Amino acid sequence: MALRAAERRVIAWMAERGRKPSRFQREAWRAWQAGESGVINAPTGSGKTLAAFGGPLIEALEKGEQKPGIRLLWITPLRALAADLHGQLEGPLRELGSSWRVLIRSGDSSATDRSRLRRGAAEILIITPESLELLLSHADAHERLGDVTSVVVDEWHELLGNKRGVLLQLSLARLRRIAPSMRLWGLSATIGNLDVAINALLGPGSDGRLISDSRPRKTIIDCVLPKPVEKFAWAGHLGLSQLRAVVDIASAVRSCLIFTNTRSQAELWHQAISAVWTHAPESLAVHHGSLDRELRQRIEDGLRDGSIRCVVATSSLDLGVDFAPVDQVIQIGSPRGVARLLQRAGRSNHRPGESSHIVCVPTMSMELAEIAAIRRALAAGDVESRMPPLLCVDVLAQHLATMALAGGFRADDMLAEVRSTFSYASLDEGTWQRVLQFLQSGGASLRGYPDFRRVVEVDGQYHVANPRIARLHRYNVGTIVADGSIGVRFLRGGRLGSVEETFIARMKAGDRFLFAGRTVELVRVRDMTAWVKLVKGQRGEVPRWMGGRMALSNELGPWLQTVLADAHPRERELQALGPVLCTQRERSAVPESEQLLVEQLRVRGTSLLFVYPFAGRRVHEGMAALLALRISRLLPVTIAFGVNDYGFMLSARSLAQFGEPDLRKLLDIENLRNDLLASIASGELARRQFREVARIAGLVFASHPGADRSVRHLQAGTGLIHDVLAAHEPDHILLQQATDEVLENTFDFVALESTMQRCAGVELLVKHPKKLTPFAFPLWAESIRGGLSSEDWQTRVRRIAEQLNEARG
Amino acid sequence: MKTHAIDLAGERVLLDARRAMAWPREDALLIADLHLGKASLMRQAGAALPRGTTTGDLQRLSALVADHQPKKLLVLGDLTHGAETLDAPWLRRFAEWRRTHAWLAITLVAGNHDRHMVLPELDIDVVPHLDIAPFHLSHAPATHARLHLIAGHLHPAARFRDGRIAHRWPAFWIGERRSVLPAFGTLTGLAPVSAERADSVYAVTPGGILAL
């Protein structure tokens, strides 16, 4: 069949379903046919799956029967999306009479599927990045993947900014060697740096195409205004006072998604709504990433077939393969970033090109300003960027061991391959040698560690030392996402999901907690599982999950400052916020864009220092730790600090009044890195970060309960290994990586540096308010979270002992 | 605060922050769970661990012996971690340490790990358990009808929050009728204790012994 005829059949097939190819879809098909690669930027619900699938589909129809073998790899970040995708790809194939078969390969694949894959009994493979890496670890990867003509990376924006994405960059570099003529397309939501997204996908310097759905899309942001703003919570608050309004909106429509920023908040809101929900109880559900896959699948299906009207969800529902659109989207609290708002609002998008609509429900007064700031940033097209992590030696070590398994490699070839990726383009020879050395002998020193060998070099070719290490390494591939989570199951056997180990560790048998919209009681913990039973009508503790706080995006900070400084705002939110800002002006000041506000006062016998850079929580945490250290060098004092997205607070028994020259000195950018490292009790934080680094690099084995008992007694905590390395090999590359990551992950060092630079150039507004200001109050109310003291260990232990005694009374 | 004296079943004993218990009246030093050779076994299995852990542990033990001047060393099980050839480097270092401490009487109350390996001629008495009134020494914690039981095996740990930093420290877990020593070896895991009301927990911190 000729190409055009095949294309006409696809268009006719779409027409039967009342659709016609949009411009960007046709553009994507043509680009594919011309052999190009690139990124397709289109919102959810716009038909981006078909945009990427169209090219291969048309060719499949054109060519008809071919020899079996995988032609298309569809890489998806979430296993949960694979089943949905399977249907989306198989539908048109079957209805158009193609013989191509679709197969899913992920950690959950059945033995039958695996053997089908080995026989090559599929043309399309849906796969997670980790499973792809595993596939590449086999010596016959060349034969299995040699016929691949196209690769699609779904939700590329989700992978771009993390280590899973870095590992995928390395896998793709290998894939380019195996199938040099393949076309590679990424699907991405709108982010601020699509150019980087293209370069990270295809390798730097490549000539990638950007195809955008250019139809104008309007996003309407509404806001439920609280009644009297003056009484509205200044500090962090769940904002359940808005419950009535939320339930009214949700009840009036056939389908509704309520997004919260944390899993705990989702559980709480679900519980609150269910108490006043007038529709059938089973038409209300809660959905978040810690719930069991099947449970989530049931909820997604229910939303699609109409049996569920309302779902309280976290970002677990941000992702999705053209997920069923809903009538109404509600956002509890501020979405904290433009990209996230777009993604969530897109869920209400019924037809490509139509406007999407979101109702925001602020839970504290400053969120009113955030919503106004997001609206202005969106109008200006200022969407957040995502930067790929660079030069991670742990991911590189894991990948090299994998490649040593896959038939081995030569050092110079491999280095060239690694450098062809965005994240390792500037990898220097020295680091490369140290990573190779780590794999061969364990340490940096020439003699290496006795008895240790993972990868051996024979005639310039690097191989894995023995089959046992090969087996252990395969277990380890893809442990990047693993954290210390523990399964939650009913005694009767039903799976509910997972919570963090640390949360369960605090609980005793008989304790209650809220999970998956139910109150459950912990019965016992065994085999990495928390066994629970249902209890009726009792309130329980809400689990806390890692990353509980969602930080304001770096891009949004300046916009927030702009809207706050606006004396005559058009936005209703800002007008509603008027009285609060008025109080702020009376007691202190509202800073303009080129000003930095500092407030100093004494409350209940404590000296407080507030600084408001509006740079986001992580940056403020770094600045607070830094200032605390620098002050404690001037005078021996124990300083506690609190941070939020707008600013930070330092408190101490007594602090001197700092004038402008003192403050300038405290905020000096000189020695930033060293002071910061000194300030964070860096040992302890680096020790924690080391856990992830050590797992990825394969320094320790991931635990596989039941899988391999002989390994169990050979495990040691990563904290211990950190201490051993720190004592015996302090300049180990993995220790350095852990320290770098502390700076990067905990404080967002790059953003911190630029914030400090900005602070140096602006006017300082030093105020001495008599009472706490509206800006200060949330920080004060939430204070004493972190702290720093210049005391040594002996003194600290004595102080802790004193605290304990006081607590006992 | 390197040592902390307590009364245990009527005896004065010293809890040492180097993870040992000294019993002056009996001229004895008690330790548990050294797990010698664990790093070596882990390296053979492909974990990149540097050398030096055995040497470090033995240095700590030497310092303890020098400070407390005991006549006997009582090891409450798991002296070694697993099966090894007799020419393993860590074993040579341990034999050397034994030679320089030949005057010290060593009794090993055998633990579950010790069954993997029969130590060569190192002049160590191996017993299933040991009674020296008022104490009954064994590896695994159980109960004893008459005597206060001192055991190892559990690797007890204490948790404590200091500001935003959560710590886990090895700990002495001292009960009415039963006490458990912290694991001596560097590369040993920790298990948080579920202490009862009457129990005392002493954490081994970088700043010394901390009574919790």
CA distances from residue A181 to A32, A149, A168 in whole angstroms, order as listed: 12, 7, 18
Q: Which residues of A touch B160 (CB under 8 A)?
A: 800
Is the Cβ of B45 closer than 8 Å to some Cβ of chain A?
yes
Task: Round to whole Å and give the CA distance between A602 and A780.
Answer: 12
The answer to whether residue B193 neighbours chain A at the CB level (below 8 Å) is no
Q: Which parts of A613-737 are beta strand (E)?
A: 639-643, 648-652
User: Which pLDDT score is estimated for A801?
Assistant: 62
Provide ipTM, 2 decimals: 0.72
Query: Which of B36, B43, B184, B190 is best to mutate for the A interface (most A CBs within 10 A)?
Result: B43
Compare all CA atoms of chain A with the CA of B203 and give the residue at the minimum distance. Answer: A797
CB-CB neighbors (< 8 A) of B82 in chain A: 713
Contact A469 B46 (CB under 8 A): yes
The stretches of A571-658 forming alpha helices (DSSP H) are 572-587, 617-634
Are B189 and A720 within 8 A, CB to CB? yes
Q: Does the pLDDT value for residue A511 go beyond 90?
A: no
Q: Check A796 against B41: CB less than 8 A apart.
A: no
Q: Do A714 and B89 touch (CB under 8 A)?
A: no
Q: Which residue has the higher pLDDT, B51 or A464?
A: A464
The percent of residues in chain A predicted with pLDDT above 90, rounded, is 32
Whether pLDDT at B45 is above 60: yes
| Chain B residue with the nearest C-alpha to that of A508 | B194
User: What percent of chain B has a predicted confidence (pLDDT) above 70?
Assistant: 94
Q: How far is CA A511 from CA A535, A544, B162, B196, in A?
A: 11, 15, 25, 17
CA distance readout (Å), A54 to A43, A300, A697: 17, 26, 39
- Cβ under 8 Å to B: A residues 607-646: 640
| Average pLDDT of span A32-45 | 88
Round to whole Å and give the CA distance between A651 and A772.
13
Whole-number pLDDT of residue A595: 93
* Minimum CA–CA partner of A468 in chain B: B45
Confidence of residue A632 (pLDDT cuts 50, 70, 90): confident
Burial (CB < 10 A; 0-12, 13-18, 19+), residue B44, is: middle
A278 touches chain B (CB under 8 A): no
Does residue B166 surpass a pLDDT of 90?
Answer: no
- Establish if A804 touches chain B: CB-CB under 8 angstroms: yes
CB contact, 8 Å: B134 with chain A? no
Q: Which pLDDT value is given to residue A792?
A: 57
Q: What is the pLDDT of residue B5?
A: 93
Cα gap A21→A571, rounded to integer Å: 38
pLDDT score recorded for residue A750: 86
User: Mean pLDDT, to the nearest integer, of B150-158?
Assistant: 91
Task: Give, rounded to a whole angstrom, the gap between the first and last alpha carbons of chain B.
Answer: 14
Q: What angle do CA A645, A647, A652 make, to 5 degrees?
A: 130
* Partner A contacted by B89 (CB < 8 A): yes
Instruction: Using the predicted structure, report yes or no on whether residue A484 has a pLDDT greater than 60.
Output: no
Q: Which residues contact A73 (CB under 8 A, 6 or more apart)?
A: A125, A127, A132, A145, A148, A150, A151, A152, A175
Q: What is the pLDDT of residue B31?
A: 96
Return the half-sphere exposure (C-beta side, CA atoms, 13 A cut-off) of residue A29.
24
Banded pLDDT at A550 (limits 50, 70, 90): low
Average pLDDT of span A225-244? 64
Region A769-792: what's the mean pLDDT? 68
pLDDT at position A753 is 92
Mean pLDDT, residues B13-32 taken together: 96
Specify the pLDDT at position A588.
94
Dump pLDDT digits (tens) for A191-213.
Answer: 889 999 999 999 998 889 999 98
Q: How many angstroms separate the CA atoms of A178 and A171, rounded?
A: 11
Least confident piece of the model among A96-110, A446-460, A511-525, B77-91: A446-460
Residue A61's nearest CA partner among A93, A89, A87 is: A93
Model-level pTM? 0.79
> Which of A449, A785, A792 is opposite residue B49, by nearest beta carbon?
A449
Average pLDDT, chain A: 82
Of the pLDDT bands very low, low, confident and very high (cuts 50, 70, 90), residue A478 is: low
**Is the per-residue pLDDT at A788 higher than 50?**
no
Is A8 near chain B, with CB under 8 Å? no
Query: CB distance from A524 to chain B under 8 Å?
Result: no
- pLDDT band of residue A93 (cuts 50, 70, 90) is very high
Least confident of A58-67, A186-195, B17-26: A58-67
Task: Give the residue on B whose Cα is nearest the Cα of A441.
Answer: B48
B210 to A699: CB separation less than 8 angstroms, yes or no: no
The size of the A-B interface in CB pairs under 8 A is 119
Cβ-defined contact of A794 to B1 (cutoff 8 Å): yes
Residues in chain B closer than 8 A to A800 (CB atoms): 160, 162, 210
Residue scoring higher pLDDT (A226 or A712): A226
Residues of A in contact with B207 (CB under 8 A): 792-798
Of A451, A508, A797, the CB nearest to B40: A451
CA-closest candidate to residue A161, choices A316, A387, A385: A387
Smallest CA–CA distance, residue B183 to chain A, in Å, is 13
How many Å lie between the alpha carbon of A452 and the closest alpha carbon of chain B?
5
Q: Does A183 touch chain B (CB under 8 A)?
A: no
Is residue A61 scored above 50 in pLDDT?
A: yes
**Strands of A159-261, DSSP E:** 183-188, 209-212, 219-223, 256-259
pLDDT band at A248, cuts 50/70/90? very high
Is pLDDT above 80 for A780?
A: no
Q: Select from A398, A723, A724 the residue whose CB has the most chain B CBs within 10 Å, as the one to mutate to test that interface.
A: A724
Mutate to test the interface with A, among B164, B190, B194, B200 (most CBs of A within 10 A): B164
Which residues make Cβ contacts (< 8 Å) with residue B126, sequence separation at least 6? B107, B108, B110, B114
Which among A233-237, A302-306, A541-545, A758-762 has the top mean pLDDT? A758-762
Q: Does position A421 have pLDDT exceeding 90, yes or no?
A: yes
Distance in angstroms between the alpha carbons of the first and the last residue of chain A: 87
A695 touches chain B (CB under 8 A): no
pLDDT of residue A42: 83
The chain A residue lying nearest B165, using CA atoms, is: A684
A595-624: burial string, b at 16+ Cβ within 10 Å, e else: bbbbbbbeeeeebbbbbbbbbbbbbbbbbb
Q: Do B48 and A438 touch (CB under 8 A)?
A: yes
- Mean pLDDT of the region A28-48: 89
More confident residue, A539 or A198: A198
Looking at the predicted structure, is the pLDDT value of residue A479 above 80? Answer: no
Triad A108, A110, A111: Cα angle to 5°: 135
Whether the per-residue pLDDT at A216 is higher than 90: the answer is no
Q: Is residue A372's pLDDT more than 90?
A: yes
**CB contact, 8 Å: B47 with chain A?**
yes
> What residue of A is the nearest CA neighbor of B192?
A505
- Output the pLDDT for position A531: 85
> Nearest CB to A724: which of B45, B187, B205?
B187
Going by C-alpha positions, the residue among A742, A587, A581 that lies closest to residue A646 is A581
Between A454, A728, A798, which is nearest B50 by CB?
A728
Tokens of A460: 């310039």
* B51 inside 8 A of chain A by CB: yes
Which amino acid, residue B12? R
**Residue B195 in contact with residue B202, Cβ under 8 Å?**
no
**Which DSSP helix (H) or strand (E) runs through A804?**
helix A793-808
Q: Encode pLDDT of A295-336 as tens digits.
A: 887 888 888 888 999 999 887 776 654 566 788 899 998 888
B134 preceded by a cis bond (ω within 30 of 0): yes
